């Protein structure tokens, strides 16, 4: 029988399929579609200290090969997530989750992370470095190795749970940022977030999104994100979770051979809400076709 189990920082997952933050809400919307407990895990909506309404409409635009979105971290704030969303989730989901932490300052990251650290439902703190640093003129925390390391270090000081840092795709040197995060204490990396993009409405001659640009993700992004995982795997020793463009069981195998210990499924959930289940169901047959008995044995095997 095919062994789909993988391990992240001592946490054994039934399979490597994790639904990505921002595409799965708090899991409740999917409970009528399939048993969400089949997932390896999923990542909660990005959470800030105070509630956020999000970006102006329109927030999403379909592309021929994917989705362009600019949600703007809409969320009810850490207090509401801890007191309302997590208790509701407990009634439907028995496994631990990733808590996606966002902020506009280093202090906010550390504060939100420390609150999630109190919850037994949270297995890993996922630090989203794609947030704009308001104190530095809006530059993303993940665009500079020193800035990324500072956030990582401060969050590590504030929590006892494993910290995985979610890196941005819109950088010229992903390896230097990955190494900086590892040296600052990151227990793992999530690679990578969406790529900045834009669509123009031909009738209005204006950008489709209310914020003009947004994050683009599609199957066409897989070779780019896979390349970044491949490069980082040779430079760091912590586990990597591959993401951006993963939409089939074969993509999962590829990403793991590149160096990922698990994968996250993002925009594919928006296009096909059953996609995570379909990928999990398809993995044993794909493994058999390529002579794979255990997924853990292929991690980094392309190197």
Q: Give pLDDT tens digits for 169-184.
A: 888 899 999 999 999 9
Q: Which residues pair with 67 in a beta bridge?
A: 62, 217
Q: b or e along 96-125 (b: 16 or more beta carbons within 10 Å of the residue's beta carbon)?
A: bbbbbbbbbbbebbbbbbbbbbebebbbbb
pTM of this structure: 0.96
Average pLDDT on 189-196 reads: 93
Average pLDDT on 225-229 reads: 97
With a cut of 60, say whether residue 134 has pLDDT above it.
no
Residue 170 is predicted with a pLDDT of: 83
- Three-state secondary structure string covering 160-205: CCCEEEECCCCCCCHHHHHHHHHHCCCCEEEECCCEEEECEECCCC
Residue 185: which pLDDT band, with cuts at 50, 70 and 90?
very high
- The answer to whether residue 67 sits within a structural domain is no
Average pLDDT on 272-277 reads: 97
With a cut of 60, say whether residue 202 has pLDDT above it.
yes
As a whole number, the mean pLDDT across the chain is 95
Please give the radius of gyration of the chain, using alpha carbons only, rounded to the nearest integer.
18
Please name the residue that has the structure tokens 């640009």.
213
Percent of the chain with pLDDT over 90: 86
| Catalytic residue positions, numbered | 131
Residue 133 is predicted with a pLDDT of: 58
With a cut of 90, say whether residue 164 has pLDDT above it.
yes
- The answer to whether residue 214 sits within a structural domain is no
Residue 27: which pLDDT band, with cuts at 50, 70 and 90?
very high
Q: Which of 68-77, 84-93, 154-163, 279-288 has the lowest average pLDDT?
A: 68-77
* Chain length of the chain: 303
- The answer to whether residue 294 sits within a structural domain is yes
Comparing CA positions, the residue from 166, 182, 165, 161 lying closest to residue 116 is 161
- The answer to whether residue 134 sits within a structural domain is yes
Q: Give pLDDT tens digits for 93-127.
A: 999 999 999 999 999 999 999 999 999 999 999 99
Give pairs for 48-55: CB < 8 Å, separation 24+: 48/73, 48/75, 48/77, 48/78, 48/102, 48/103, 48/104, 48/108, 48/112, 49/77, 49/78, 49/103, 49/108, 49/111, 49/112, 50/77, 51/75, 51/76, 51/77, 51/80, 52/77, 55/209, 55/210, 55/211
Per 3-state DSSP, the chain is made up of helix, strand and coil in percentages (nearest 5) of 35, 25, 40
Average pLDDT on 283-299 reads: 98
Whether the CB-CB separation of 247 and 190 falls below 8 Å is answered with no
Q: b or e along 34-71 (b: 16 or more beta carbons within 10 Å of the residue's beta carbon)?
A: bebeebbbbbbbbbbbeebeebeebbbbeeeebbbbbb
- The CATH number of residue 81's host domain is 3.20.20.70
- The answer to whether residue 88 sits within a structural domain is yes
Q: How far is CA 131 from the centre of its chain?
A: 13
Residue 287 is predicted with a pLDDT of: 98
Average pLDDT on 255-267 reads: 97
Please name the residue that has the structure tokens 């793991």.
256
- The answer to whether residue 200 sits within a structural domain is no
Report CA-CA distances (Å) from 285 to 6, 134, 272, 280, 291: 18, 48, 21, 10, 10
Residue 63: which pLDDT band, with cuts at 50, 70 and 90?
confident
Residue 65 is predicted with a pLDDT of: 84
Question: What is the total count of domains within the chain?
Answer: 1
- The answer to whether residue 303 sits within a structural domain is no
Question: Domain residues for 245?
Answer: 6-54+73-194+219-298
Residue 64 is predicted with a pLDDT of: 82
With a cut of 90, say whether residue 192 has pLDDT above it.
yes
Residue 101 is predicted with a pLDDT of: 97
Q: Determine which helix (DSSP H) or strand (DSSP E) holds 265, and give its type and residue range.
A: strand 262-265
Are β-strands 6-8 and 11-13 bridged in parallel, bridged antiparallel, or unpaired?
A: antiparallel
Residue 132 is predicted with a pLDDT of: 59
- The answer to whether residue 182 sits within a structural domain is yes
Residue 135 is predicted with a pLDDT of: 64
With a cut of 70, say whether residue 250 has pLDDT above it.
yes
Strand order in the sheet with 41-42: 41-42, 17-19, 262-265, 240-243, 188-191, 163-166, 122-128, 97-101
Percent of the chain with pLDDT over 70: 97
Residue 140: which pLDDT band, with cuts at 50, 70 and 90?
confident
């Amino acid at each position: 029988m095919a062994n789909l189990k993988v391990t992240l920082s001592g946490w054994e997952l039934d399979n490597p399929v994790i639904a990505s933050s921002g595409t799965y809400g708090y899991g409740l919307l999917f409970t009528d579609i399939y048993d969400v407990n089949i997932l390896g895990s999923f990542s909660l909506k990005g959470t800030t200290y105070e509630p956020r309404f999000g970006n102006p409409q329109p927030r999403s635009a379909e592309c021929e090969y994917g989705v362009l979105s600019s949600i703007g971290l809409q969320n009810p704030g850490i207090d509401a997530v801890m007191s309302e969303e997590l208790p509701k989730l407990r009634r439907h989901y028995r496994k631990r989750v990733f808590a996606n932490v966002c902020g506009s300052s280093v202090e906010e990251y550390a504060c939100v992370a420390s609150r999630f650290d109190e919850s037994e439902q949270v297995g890993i703190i996922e630090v989203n470095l794609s947030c704009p640093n308001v104190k530095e003129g809006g530059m993303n925390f993940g665009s500079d190795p020193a800035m990324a390391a500072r956030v990582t270090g401060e969050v590590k000081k504030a929590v006892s749970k494993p910290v995985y840092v979610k890196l941005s795709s819109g950088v010229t040197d992903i390896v230097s940022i990955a190494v900086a995060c590892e040296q600052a204490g990151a227990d793992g990396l999530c690679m990578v977030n969406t790529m900045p993009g834009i669509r123009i409405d031909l009738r209005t001659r204006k950008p489709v999104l209310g914020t003009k640009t947004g994050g683009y993700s599609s199957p066409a992004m897989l070779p780019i994100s896979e390349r970044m995982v491949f490069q980082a795997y040779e430079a760091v020793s912590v586990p990597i979770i591959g993401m951006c463009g993963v939409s089939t069981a074969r993509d999962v195998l590829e990403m793991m051979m590149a160096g990922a210990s698990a994968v996250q499924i993002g925009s594919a959930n928006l296009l096909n809400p059953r996609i995570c289940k379909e990928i999990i169901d398809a993995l044993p047959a794909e493994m058999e076709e390529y002579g794979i008995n255990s997924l853990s044995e292929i991690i980094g095997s392309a190197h």
